[in-house]
Amino acid sequence: MIADTTEMRTFQADLLRSELRYRRLFESSKDGILLVDPQTRQILDSNPFMTELLGYTRDELRGNELFEIGLLKDHAASEAAFRQLQQEGRIRYEDLPLQTKNGERREVEFVSNLYDEGGEAIIQCDIRDITQRREADESLGQAQAQLGNRAVQLEHLVAERTAELTTTNQQLEAFVYSIAHDLRAPLRAMQGFSVMLVEEAGPAFSETARGYADRIGKAAQFMDALLSDLLAFSRISQQRVELTPVDLKAVVESVLSRLQKDAQDANASVEAEGPWPAVLAHEPTLAQVLFNLISNAFKFTAPLAAPLVRLRAEERAEFIRLWVVDDGIGIAPDHQDQIFRLFNRLHGEKYAGTGIGLAIVHKGIERMGGRVGVESVPGEGSRFWFELRKA
């Protein structure tokens, strides 16, 4: 008997603690809570957050049905909701409109559950105010729409400016091409007439006069070479470049064949080490790039030296890197970023050249979607490289 009494007291104490714990949760919840009688559908109790949200006191809420305080649209909506609750045990509305006592409109998330508490049914309605979240979503949507509109405007503006720049560049390149082409004829005439003048005058020309005529001829020859390179640069800038799989070995062999006489004149030797993977390139442009790099390797050597040029290719992830390595005079570190610029001549007085050859290399590789660079130590040679995508 004593044991039964002790167990009863323990049970009652546990029950009291549970009730107190639930009451604390009920009172302190940051969501609105309503307790509703499933038979009469009238509100039995509400927590402080609910009264604060609606603007009603607890006494004002008790005895009302949900539609009477603005949680459901009307009596018919209330009937439908309670039928669904009886069938499913739970109803949920994600964005239920709600009007408070003072007429303020709110958006709430409404969840109602039917519980059985010790044989007695009870309905708990949980109401979460999502007005600020909806307003934030709307503001975010408006901001995103404005940002999207602005992005479209910027895209149009960039497209227009790009088209204008492209047109301007094309006009400038066409102008350069036209000038360079038209100037070559009078330069060749100057060169030819200076030779004819020396031959015609013969002994009547003094050594000084012959020197002047020779300088005229060499200047005309240099200008002709300069204009020829300008035309090549203009062509490589303007021509349509379509990338296709290119046999690198065939291009290397073709370029070396064209440079055979230059190699003999420079007493140069070339070592080409395979294998040669296929690359995505524009074959004429690729051939021009290789031609210029190898020609430079023959040219920029110490006096009386026999140049040695090594060619090889290596795979690098999605790219093929081709090396043109020489044992020439090398390039100082301060100048290595400059050599690919137009009209840049580091050794203009000692070595013939127009300062355009490496600019053509850079432009050609750029048009084919690749990269180009150099590694060099003065007096120890240079290692030029460029990368193109694998075919």
User: Looking at residue 290, what is its pLDDT?
Assistant: 93
Tell which residue, 302, 355, 350, 348, has the closest CA to residue 327. Answer: 302
Last residue of a domain, one of 98, 129, 160: 129
Q: Which of 129, 150, 174 is the last residue of a domain?
A: 129
Q: Do 251 and 122 share a structural domain?
A: no
Residue 212 domain-assigned?
no
Q: Based on the domain organization, do 6 and 112 belong to the same domain?
A: no
Q: Could you list the residue range(s) of the whole structural domain that residue 20 is in?
A: 1-26
Taking alpha carbons only, the member of 285, 301, 311, 245 closest to residue 365 is 285
pLDDT, position 120:
82
Checking 95-98 for CB contacts under 8 A at 24+ apart, the result is: 95/130, 95/134, 96/71, 98/54, 98/70, 98/71, 98/127
Considering the domain architecture, whether residues 100 and 15 belong to the same structural domain is answered as no
Contacts of 109 by beta carbon, 8 Å cutoff, 6+ apart: 92, 93, 94, 95, 96, 127, 128, 130
15 and 105 fall within a common domain = no
pLDDT given for residue 178 in this prediction: 73
Total structural domains within the chain = 3
Asked if residue 108 and residue 2 are part of one domain, the reply reads no
Do the Cβ atoms of 93 and 78 come closer than 8 Å? no
The parts of the chain modelled with pLDDT lower than 50 are none
Residue 160 lies in a domain: no
CB 383 within 8 A of CB 325: yes
pLDDT given for residue 15 in this prediction: 52
pLDDT of residue 48: 87
CATH number at residue 83: 3.30.450.20
How many other CB atoms are found less than 10 A from the CB of residue 71?
A: 26
- Note the pLDDT of residue 99: 80
